[in-house]
Amino acid sequence: MTISAAMERYAAEIYRLQEENEYAPLSEVAEHVHVSLQAASRMIRRLKEAGIVDHEPYKGVQLTSKGENAAARGLRRHRLAERYLVDVMGFGWDEVHELTHDFELGISPAIEARIDEMLGYPTRCPHGEPIPDRDGNIPELNDQPLTEVKQPISAQVTRVRSHDPKKLRYFAELGILPGVSIDLLHRAPFEGPMRLRIGTWREQVVGYQLAEALWVRLDDTPHSD
């Protein structure tokens, strides 16, 4: 069976969901792909027939090794398309995730290769997520959620893991973008807010739920305020 771009897109969304849980529930797959549960179920049957997923009743779906390869191709096309829409077409990083869903399905391998070349072979999407290489390799990132950092420390924002346009616009207003240095100055107990220094001067209190979207790479040196 030929694996279509639409099938790769489903595999990519399942991969994202499996980053948080072992299985991807069908309802969440449907929500991420913006289709009805019935439409998602039909596609999941096709994916199972193609050997891309295993389906465990009452749990959800899980990618096979073949499915992981399909997911990498889908992620690569999606994240390159996001870079193109931001870097070349001038869209905001808060707009491109939704715009890319339709745009990416028309990108052939030849166009994908030309986009990659035009952009200078980027390794991250606008939100900091890694772009798989042409062989489907997805680099492992040595980062962690900011909410898991327990002590005041210096760090660099690696990824902003949200597709919520309002959250992304707010992060941009604060200057919290991939590559920006931050200092965790204080965190309140019991999932309370965090006080951050952004760059070298600006301080901002960020709520726990908002901070869950921020992934960071630590500088290994505790920060003393």
Q: How far is CA 212 from CA 18, 29, 76, 167, 187, in A?
A: 17, 21, 24, 11, 13
**Burial tier of 84 (Cβ tally within 10 Å: 0-12, 13-18, 19+):** buried
Considering the domain architecture, whether residues 16 and 105 belong to the same structural domain is answered as yes
Q: Which domain holds residue 199?
A: 144-222
Q: What is the DSSP string of the chain?
A: ----HHHHHHHHHHHHHHTTSSSB-HHHHHHHHT--HHHHHHHHHHHHHTTSEEEETTTEEEE-HHHHHHHHHHHHHHHHHHHHHHHTT---TTTHHHHHHHHGGG--HHHHHHHHHHTT--SB-TTSPBPP-TT--------EEGGG--S-EEEEEEEE----HHHHHHHHHHT--TT-EEEEEEE-TTT--EEEEETTTEEEEE-HHHHTTEEEEEEEEE---
- What is the rounded CA–CA span in Å between residue 141 and residue 122? 15
Q: How far is CA 137 from CA 70, 71, 83, 108, in A?
A: 11, 11, 18, 19
Nearest Cα to Cα of residue 151 among 119, 112, 115, 189: 189
Q: What is the pLDDT of residue 57?
A: 87
pLDDT digits (tens, 9 = 90+) for 203-224: 999 999 999 999 999 976 555 5
User: Which of 140, 169, 203 is the last residue before a domain boundary?
Assistant: 140
Considering the domain architecture, whether residues 42 and 150 belong to the same structural domain is answered as no
Considering the domain architecture, whether residues 166 and 186 belong to the same structural domain is answered as yes
Considering the domain architecture, whether residues 75 and 131 belong to the same structural domain is answered as yes
Considering the domain architecture, whether residues 13 and 118 belong to the same structural domain is answered as yes
Count of domains observed in the chain: 2
Q: What is the pLDDT of residue 72?
A: 96
Considering the domain architecture, whether residues 56 and 159 belong to the same structural domain is answered as no
pLDDT at 106 over 90: no
Place 107 in a pLDDT band, splitting at 50, 70 and 90: very high
User: Which of 140, 158, 174 is the last residue before a domain boundary?
Assistant: 140
Considering the domain architecture, whether residues 164 and 89 belong to the same structural domain is answered as no
What mean pLDDT comes out for the span 107-113?
94
Considering the domain architecture, whether residues 81 and 176 belong to the same structural domain is answered as no
User: Which of 115, 140, 165 is the last residue before a domain boundary?
Assistant: 140
Is the overall model pTM greater than 0.85, yes or no?
yes
Considering the domain architecture, whether residues 123 and 156 belong to the same structural domain is answered as no
With vertex at residue 87, the alpha carbon angle to CA 19 and CA 119, rounded to the nearest 5 degrees, is 85
